[in-house]
Amino acid sequence: MTDKKYIWIEIGLVVILIVYIIFINGFYSGGTDKSIAEVSKPVTATLKGSTLSKKTNGDAVKAFGFELDKTDGIMYYAADNVMDVSEVLIVKLKDKTDAPDFEEKIRERVTNQENLYKGYAPKQYSLLQNSIVASSGNTVFYCTSKTANAIYEAYKNAL
Amino acid sequence: MVFSSTTFLIAFLPVTLIAYYVIGVKLTKNITVKNIILLLASLVFYAWGEPLYIVLMVISILFNYTVGRAMASSRETGNSKRVKAQFIFAIVFNLGMLGFFKYIGFLFGTVNSVFGTDIQSLAFPLPVGISFYTFQILSYIIDLYRGNIEVQKNPISFALYISLFPQLIAGPIVKYKDIAKQLSFRKENADDFSRGITRFTVGLAKKLIFANTLGAVYTIIQNGGTKDLSVVGAWIGIICYTLQIYFDFSGYSDMAIGLGGMFGFRFNENFRYPYIAASVTDFWRRWHISLSTWFKEYVYIPLGGNRRKTPRVILNLMIVWMLTGLWHGAAWNFVLWGVFYGVLLILEKYVLAGALEKIPTPVRYILTMLCVMVGWVLFSSPSLAAAGEYLGVMFGGAEFINSQAIYIFSANFIVIILGAFCATPLYRKALRSFSIQTIGKLKMAAYPLLFILCMIFMISETYNPFLYFRF
C-alpha cells in the first residue's frame, strides 16, 4: 500500500471519529432548562396517597453524600417509616458532567440499603433491587418504589 | 464487566477459557485462532458495560494500526519527514482523543470559574479504560518512531494488544515491546495456568474481602461530613481508604496478571508492597509501577531526566508529577496530589537526602505513610475545600475522639488490622516457618476456601466497582 493510501485511511478514520462524536453527543445530551420545581411537579403528582413525605436538601446530602454546591436544585421524597425503603429523588446539576458521580453515589446508597435490609426485610430488598437510577443531561433521577416505573415515566415526560 | 461479578466468573471466563483451549490450543494449535478468540472475548468484555464506546476503541485501534504501517512504509522509502509527520499526527490524535473525552468538562469548568462565564461544554461519561489503552497505544507509537520495535503488521495482533481484556480497563499498562513476542508466540502450560488461578483468587480476595469492606467504612465517614468527625475518626477513615485503594488496585492487577497467565501471557508486576516503603521515592518504585515507568520512559527521560542542571531536573519532575496527577482525574485535587508528590520527591532528592539517612528506619516508614495518607486525602476528596476540611480535622481541628469513632473502630478493627498485616510481606515471613510440604498443603486447602469465601462476599454484594475504573 502506498503512503498516500495510508493517509487517506487515516483522514477517513478521523472523519468517522468526528461523526461518531456528533452522534454520541446527541445520545448523551438532553436534560432540561426547566427549574427543579417545574420538573418535580408532575412527579410529585404521582406520589399522592403514598407514604412518602418531602425532605430537605440537607436530608438528601446526608443520605447520599452529595455536594450541594454542585446542584441547581433537589427534589427528595422518602418514607418516614425506617422499615420502608421507598424514595424518589431528582437532582438538577449545574454541570452535567457531574451526573456520573451523582449516579455512583446513589448506587452506593442503594447498595448500602440492600445490605441493611437483605437479611430481614425481603420485600424492601426486592424493591431496592428494582430501583431505577438514571440521568438525562443535567438531571439525575432515582426511585425505589412499588410504582417506580410510573414515577420514572412522569420524570421523563417532565423534562 | 468487572472481574468480581458472577457474570464474569460463572459465564464469561469459563466460556472464553473453553473456547481458547478447545478451539485455539487443542484443535487448531494456531496463534491467529487463539488471538481471534481472545480479541472477540475482549470486545464483548468491553462492550458489556458501555456498548457505545466500543466504537471509539475500534476507531482508535484502526487509526493507530494504519499510522504504524504508514510510519514503517515511509521509513522503508527513506522519507524521514513523513515518518515524523505521521508520528506527530498520531500523538495529536491520541492525546486529543484522551483530552476530549476526559478533560473537556474540566477545561470548560475551569474557564467558567476563572472568567465567570457560563460556557456549556460537550459532556460525555468517561470511556472506561481510555487512560490505560491510550497510554499503551502511545508506547507503541513512540517506540516505533524511535525504531525500538518492529511494526505490527497483523491487525488481529495489534487489536488484541490494545483490547486484551485482563488489563484493558485498569491496567497494568503493558508496553508493546514487553508483549510483542507473546502476541505471535506463547506456550500455555499447566503450571502457568495453575499460578494464574491462584493469583486471580488472591486478587479477588483483596477486592471483595478487604477493599469493599474497608471502603464501606470510609464511605460512611466521608458521607457523614466533617461536622461530627473527630480526630481519631478522621484517621480511621483515611487508614481505611489507604488500605482500600491498595487492595482494590493491586487486587485488580493480581487478577489481570493471573488471567494473563491462564492465557499464556506474562505481564510485569504493578505493585511491590508499597506500604513498606521507607521513603516517598521508594513508595513510587512500588506503587503502580507500570504508570511510573511509563512516565519515566516516555516523558521524564525525553525531557532530559537527571542529566540536566538542577533547576531543569526540578522542572522536569514537576511536569511529570503534574501530569501523573492529571492522568488520574480531571480535577484540581488530582493535580494538587501530583504536585504534592513532585514537591516531596524533590525535597527527598535535594534537601532531605542526608537527613533521612540518619533517621531510624521505623520512623522513616511512619513518615512515609503519613505523607501517603495525606496524599490519599487529596486524592479521595470530592473537592479541594473538602480535602482541606478533612485534613484540618485529622490534624487537630476537632474533638479528639467521640462515640462515632469508638463505634466505627470497635466494629471494624479486626478487618483494619488484618488488612494492614496483609498489605505487608509479613504473612510471607510467617509462612517461612513451615516446611515446603506444609506450605504446599496449606495452599491446597487455602485457595479453594478463599475462592468460596470470595463467592459468598460477591453474592452478598450487588455493586462493587473498582476505584481505578474512573481513570
The 10s digit of each residue's pLDDT in B9-21 is 889 999 999 999 9
Whether this model's pTM surpasses 0.95: no
Residue B49 or residue B390, greater confidence: B390
Residue A17, amino acid: L
What whole-number distance in Å separates Cα of residue B198 and Cα of residue B429? Answer: 19
* Mutation choice for B interface testing from A4, A13, A23, A70 by most B CBs within 10 A: A13
- Distance of residue B429 Cα from the nearest chain A Cα, in angstroms: 36
CB neighbour list of residue B276: distance below 8 Å, 6 or more residues apart: B286, B365, B424, B425
Length of chain B equals: 471
With 70 as the cut, is the pLDDT of residue B467 above it? no
> How far, CA to CA in Å, does B65 sit from each of B41, B157, B183?
20, 10, 15
Shared domain for A63 and A13, answered yes or no, is no
Count of domains for chain B: 2
Q: Residue B32 contacts by C-beta under 8 Å, 6 or more apart in sequence?
A: B154, B156
- Test the B interface: residue of A20, A97, A116 with most B CBs within 10 Å: A97
Distance (Å) from the C-alpha of residue B68 to the closest C-alpha of chain A? 10
Q: Is the pLDDT of residue B257 over 90?
A: yes
Number of domains in chain A: 2
CB contact under 8 A, B52 and A27: yes
B181 and B267 fall within a common domain: no
Read off the pLDDT of residues B365-415 as tens digits, 9 standing for 90 and up: 999 999 999 999 998 887 788 888 889 999 987 888 888 888 888 888 899
Given the residues B328, B356, B393, B419, select the one marked as catalytic. B328
The distance of A62 to chain B (nearest Cα, Å) reads 7
Instruction: Inform me whether the pLDDT recorded for B463 exceeds 50.
Output: no
Average pLDDT over residues B216-223: 78
Greatest mean pLDDT among B8-12, B160-164, B355-359, B444-448 = B160-164
- Is A153 found in the same domain as A82? yes
- On average, the pLDDT of chain A sits at 84
Q: Averaged over B257-269, what is the pLDDT?
A: 93
Taking CA–CA distances from A21, the nearest residue in chain B reads: B56
Distance from CA of A105 to the nearest CA of B (A): 10
Task: Indicate whether B157 and B223 sit together in one domain.
Answer: no
* Cell numbers linked to B46: 468491553
pLDDT digits (tens, 9 = 90+) for B80-124: 899 999 999 999 999 999 998 888 878 887 887 788 776 766 667
- Chain B residues 211-250 with CB within 8 Å of chain A: 216, 219, 222-223, 225
Closest C-alpha among B101, B59, B99, B138 to residue A13 = B59
Would you say residue B296 has pLDDT above 50?
A: yes
Rounded distance between C-alpha atoms, residue A127 and residue A131, angstroms? 6
- Report how far Cα B320 is from the mean position of its chain's Cα atoms: 17
What are B229-245's pLDDT values in tens digits?
Answer: 899 999 999 999 999 99
Higher pLDDT, B294 or B167: B294
Domain assignment of residue B1, yes or no: no
The x, y and z cell numbers of residue A151, run together, are 414515577
pLDDT at residue number B469:
56
pLDDT exceeds cutoff 60 at A69: yes
With beta carbons under 8 A apart, name residues in chain B contacting A9: 62, 66
State how far the Cα of B80 lies from the Cα of A94, in Å rounded to an integer: 49
Residues B50-65 have a mean pLDDT of: 91
- A38 and A19 fall within a common domain: no
Cβ of B59 within 8 Å of Cβ of A9? The answer is no
Is the predicted pLDDT of residue A136 greater than 90, yes or no? Answer: no
Determine if the peptide bond prior to B155 is cis (ω within 30°).
no
Q: Is the pLDDT of residue B462 over 70?
A: no
Q: What value does the mean pLDDT of chain B take?
A: 88
Q: Give the model's pLDDT for residue A157.
A: 74
Q: How far is CA B148 from CA B78, B144, B151, B176, in A?
A: 17, 6, 10, 10
Q: What is the mean pLDDT of residues B307-325?
A: 91
End-to-end, the C-alpha distance of chain B in Å comes to 16
Average pLDDT over residues B405-426: 89
Cβ pair B281, B364 in contact under 8 A: no
Instruction: Specify whether the CB–CB gap between B322 and B345 falls below 8 A.
Output: no
Regarding whether B383 and B280 lie in a shared domain, the answer is: yes
Provide the pLDDT for residue A36.
85
Q: Given B132, B166, B185, which residue is the final one in a domain? A: B185
Largest CA distance in chain A: 73
Cα-based distances in Å from B272 to B19, B84, B213: 34, 38, 22
- pLDDT computed for residue B285 by the predictor: 94
User: Annotated catalytic, B288?
Assistant: no
Q: Say if B459 is an interface residue toward chain A (CB within 8 Å).
A: no
Domain membership of residue A125 as a residue range = 31-158
Helical H runs in B267-350? 280-286, 289-295, 310-328, 332-346
Q: How far is residue A131 CA from its own chain's centroid?
A: 11
Using a CB-CB cut-off of 8 Å, the residues of chain A touching B97 are 17
Please give the pLDDT value at position B2.
78
Gap between the Cα atoms of B366 and B277, Å rounded = 9
Task: With beta carbons under 8 A apart, name residues in chain A contacting B79.
Answer: 3
**If DSSP codes are grouped into helix, strand and coil, which group holds residue A92?**
strand
Instruction: Look at residues B185, B213, B238 and tell me which one is the last residue of a structural domain.
Output: B185
Same domain, A74 and A145: yes
Would residue B50 count as lying in a domain? yes
| CB-CB under 8 Å, B223 with A17 | no
Is the same domain home to B39 and B142?
yes
Residues 90-129 of B with CB under 8 A from A: 93, 97, 100, 105, 109, 121-126
pLDDT digits (tens, 9 = 90+) for A94-107: 877 788 889 888 98
pLDDT band for position B223 (cuts 50, 70, 90): low
The domain boundary, picked from B148, B165, B185, lies at B185
Q: Nearest residue on chain A to B57, judged by CA atoms?
A: A17
Residues 6+ apart with CB under 8 A from B72: B144, B151
Q: What is the span of the domain harbouring residue B122?
A: 6-185
Mean pLDDT over residues B281-291, rounded? 94
Residues B132 and B196 occupy one common structural domain: no
pLDDT at B444 over 90: no
Kind plus residue range of the DSSP H or E element containing A73: strand A71-79
